[in-house]
Amino acid sequence: MQEMDVLGVRVSIPENEVVVVLAVRDGGRVVLPIVIGPREGASIATAQAGIVPERPQTHDLFISLLDATGVRLDQVRVTSLEQGTFHAELVLSSGQHVDSRPSDAIALALRARCPVLCDEGVLTAAGVVMDAEDEAEVVADFQAFLENVEPEDFEP
């Protein structure tokens, strides 16, 4: 398993798909783009931007529920890629592993401030090597995105 950083959420043009981009923490320029739903994209983007809603949204509620029961989210793992679909799991302090979509797992990890890990086989199958110019562009685009993001931007 490789530890990943969440670079951010982008909208892929011309497909108009929402994509979360993960990067290997200490692994050079390998990134993992995962197509996700617009609502999950909004949840990830608002968590990264530090936006706290007046009322808890679904991912906030899930973390509050874990806290209330004395269980922590220790890490999330992107575990496999099967027929074009990524799979993930939540690893709880109770020792349990819970099946999850990667988008939900990442949104929860950002709120719980826990690591996001990715299986080596997934990185081999779906990882992309970026050059330095691509990386600088992704970072600049994401910073501009965070400055202007609104949850309504992700409504279908």
Taking residues 16-45, what's their average pLDDT?
A: 90
Residues 6+ apart with CB under 8 A from 45: 8, 9, 145, 146, 149, 154
CB atoms within 10 A of CB 112: 20
50-84 pLDDT, tens digit per residue, is 988 889 999 999 999 999 999 999 999 999 999 99
Residues 6+ apart with CB under 8 A from 18: 9, 10, 11, 12, 35, 36, 37, 38, 40, 41, 154
To 5 degrees, how large is the angle CA 44–CA 138–CA 22? Answer: 45
81 lies in a domain? yes
Q: Print the domain residue range for 34.
A: 2-150
84-97 pLDDT, tens digit per residue, is 999 999 999 999 99
39 lies in a domain? yes
156 lies in a domain? no
11 lies in a domain? yes
Provide the CATH number for the domain around residue 134: 3.10.690.10
End-to-end CA distance of the chain: 34
Q: What pTM was computed for the model?
A: 0.82
Phi, psi of 23 (to 5 degrees): -130, 140
Q: Quote the number of domains for the chain.
A: 1
Q: Are 118 and 1 in contact (CB under 8 A)?
A: yes
23 lies in a domain? yes
155 lies in a domain? no
10 lies in a domain? yes
Region for residue 31 given its phi and psi (left: phi exceeds 0; alpha: psi -120 to 50; beta: otherwise): beta
